[in-house]
Amino acid sequence: DDTIDTIPLAFLYIFQGTGGDPVIDFSNICSQWDDPVFSGTALANCQSAMEADIKLCQSKGKAITLSLGGATGQVGFSSDSQAQSFATQVWNLFLGGSSSTRPFGTAILDGLDLDIESGTPAHYAAFVSQIRSLAAPTGKQYLITAAPQCPYPDAYIGAALNEADFDAVYVQFYNNYCGLDQPSDYNFATWDNWAKTTSFNKNVKVYIGAPGSPAAAGTGYVDVSTLAQYAAQAQTNYSSFGGVMMWDADTAYSTLSVW
């Protein structure tokens, strides 16, 4: 499918779990509840369930990233040093580092997405900067994105967006007053202005985050023709426009017959 170029895997939802390792839950694909875990941890071993699929998608030109946080995330840092240590741990488990407990085996993910919706907002810039530092010597371009909610500035990741190098933001235009179903309050222009004037990376791209079906979010769903109009308008009027993000793949595909 040439219309899809990036697939974030959701979620790594606990930063400090059993044994000091993070916890991942990919719903019916792989989780600590249905799959083996590494000894002394609650970190699922998803190698048999996901390694080959990740590599196949990458061979087709898709970037596979890991999304951290989510609505039920147990996340946050108490200091820059803790954030940097966690970044190194994530690097070794999922990205270009090495560990005996890599959940996807030899598959190397293409980046990270920060969907931070709880905890304290501090120290995420240090986390991102550490990932960038670890990636620099490898020569591989790792994608770092965030998924802020549409009210500006975002309460949890807003500060980091101004202090660290993000490639894109997948703005959640749903479950808020500024959602796609509220055209008078829809605020892509605000995020475009942020991208050009306030963001750390002045070339950062802004995506329209949309629910894949009415069931995917409490509010904000619009049909595909309306969403296409939003995208066309953003592409015409805002140079920061990067594309559309759907939450999530399962619900989006469930509405294909409607589209």
Q: Where are the domains of the chain?
A: 6-254
Given this model, what pLDDT does residue 253 score? 85
Q: Assess whether pLDDT exceeds 90 at residue 215.
A: yes
Given this model, what pLDDT does residue 257 score? 54
Given this model, what pLDDT does residue 259 score? 46
Phi-psi region of 112 (alpha: psi -120 to 50; beta: other; left: phi over 0): beta
- How large a percentage of the chain has pLDDT more than 90? 95
Q: Is 117 a catalytic residue?
A: yes
Q: Assess whether pLDDT exceeds 60 at residue 165.
A: yes
Residue 32 corresponds to which tokens in the numbers above?
């600590």
Q: How far apart are CA 7 and CA 73, in angstroms?
A: 19
Instruction: Count how many Cα atoms sit within 13 Å of the Cα of residue 245 in the half-sphere of its side chain.
Output: 27
Given this model, what pLDDT does residue 1 score? 80
* Catalytic residue (choose from 117, 129, 168, 217): 117
CATH topology of domain 6-254: TIM Barrel (3.20.20)
What would the mean pLDDT of 157-173 be, rounded to a whole number?
99
Q: How many other C-beta atoms can be found within 10 angstroms of the C-beta atom of residue 147?
A: 26
Q: Assess whether pLDDT exceeds 70 at residue 125.
A: yes
In this predicted model, what pLDDT tens digit does every residue of 77-97 receive, in sequence order? 999 999 999 999 999 999 999
Question: What value does the mean pLDDT of the chain take?
Answer: 97
Name the pTM for this structure.
0.96
